[in-house]
Structures are given as structure tokens and as C-alpha cells.
Amino acid sequence: MNKRGLILVISGFSGVGKGTVVRRLMEQYKQYALSVSVTTRPPREGEVHGKDYFFISEEEFSVMEAEGRLMEWAGYVGRHYGTPRDYVFERLDEGKDMILEIEVQGALQIKEKYPEAILVFVAPPRAAVLKERLLGRGTESVEQVEKRLLRAVEESESMGAYDYLLINDDLPTCVEELHQIMQCEHRKMRVNGELLDDIKLDLKRFVEGE
């Protein structure tokens, strides 16, 4: 299997539990690391620079964008968010599979620029489950939940562009399936050029040495 890390883009409706899936995946397997986004919004209470986000100015953001140092970016209520290319690629070189937990528009940007990225969409077994989970958080009003559900309907129109569909019914199963997808992606011929060359060379040398 190849040593270099792969880019895993994970999206899903709000409330589907993708954050929990990602956290569990990283707890169970050391090969994964989570990308840290840059943002121009100010840090909230308790947020740590370089852990939750890289907090940067609008000017710094513009420079990064202009220099092609953002893998994807988006604006949201007057603030900007983006995925820093160098942060991700340095860790890919170290052999980490880099997880980008981003929304649909960002995911599509990634797929266009980095077609080798693996896009996984996490869906609930039924829409009703989504609502239960959102209400179960206890932090959101019924109106906010309604809004998120409407957004899910919108997002569902872009699901077809993803590589894999994962149903988060049972959490451990979902984590295991996601890990298996990544294991299989590491066995793809196109990421194993080096191993392929080794096999060819070994075979040739062996036959010539006979």
C-alpha cells in the first residue's frame, strides 16, 4: 500500500453526526489527521489558534487566496473560511490521510482542483432521524432546526457528485466503513506507482538472474 496520505473530504447534512464519526475514526486509527481551516472571524471563548482554526485577517486571507494557497474557500455572513494548502500537503507527505470536514460547495471545489481527493457523503438512515438528532442537541430552536432541514434538501442536490455514500445508522459501523473506504483507496493502482515499479523490477531481475 502507498505511504503518502490521501485527501478525504467528508460532508453531510447538519445533525447527521459526521463530526462524531470523524473524531472516532481519528481515535481508533492513527493514520488520520484533521485539517485546520483558516478563518477571518474572531475566535470564540476557548477556541485555540492552530487547533480549532487559524485566525487570520481579511488581508492575509486575500493574499492566501491570490497566491493559490487555499484549497477551497467560502464566505459566510461576511466572514471567510478556507482550507490551507500547505498545512494539508505537509501532512500528506508525512503519510497522514487528511480529513477535510467541509460543506458541499467547498467539496466540489476540492474535487475540481484535486480529482484524486475522495469525497464521502454521510446521510442519515431517514430524514426523521436528522430532526431527532438536531433537537436532541438541545442547543437549537425549532426554527433553527427547520432551517437546517431546508438546507439539507438543498445540499442533497449535490450529493451525486460525491464518490461514496455512507449511511450513519450505527456509529461504530459507520466509522468502520469509512476506514475501509480509505484502506481500499490506498490499494488503488494509481496511488501505488512506486510499488508497481518495484514489483516489475523485482520480477525482471529475478527472471534475468535465473
Which spans of this chain sit near a second copy (rule: CB under 8 A)?
13, 121, 123, 126-128, 130-131, 146, 149-150, 152-153, 156-157, 159-166, 177, 180-181, 183-185, 187-189, 192-193, 195-196, 199-200, 202-207, 210
- CA atoms of 100 and 18, how far apart (whole Å): 11
| Cβ at position 208, least distance to a second copy in Å | 9
Nearer to a second copy, 113 or 147 (CB): 147
Nearer to a second copy, 26 or 181 (CB): 181
Residue 30 has which C-alpha cell?
A: 492513527
| Cβ at position 94, least distance to a second copy in Å | 23
Residue 183 has which C-alpha cell?
A: 484502506
| Cβ at position 195, least distance to a second copy in Å | 7
Nearer to a second copy, 36 or 181 (CB): 181
Q: Which amino acid is at 158?
A: S
| Cβ at position 23, least distance to a second copy in Å | 21
| Cβ at position 66, least distance to a second copy in Å | 33
Nearer to a second copy, 48 or 201 (CB): 201
Tell me the three state secondary structure of residue 76: strand
| CA distance from start to end of the chain | 28
Handedness of CA 198, 188, 19, 29 (dihedral sign): negative
| Cβ at position 69, least distance to a second copy in Å | 30
Residues near 81 by Cβ (< 8 Å), separated by ≥ 6?
37, 38, 39, 40, 41, 73, 74, 75
Q: Are 137 and 148 in contact (CB under 8 A)?
A: no
Nearer to a second copy, 49 or 200 (CB): 200
Nearer to a second copy, 37 or 109 (CB): 109
| Beta pairing partners, 55 | 39
Tell me the three state secondary structure of residue 179: helix
Label residue 5 exposed, middle or buried (CB < 10 Å: 0-12, 13-18, 19+): buried
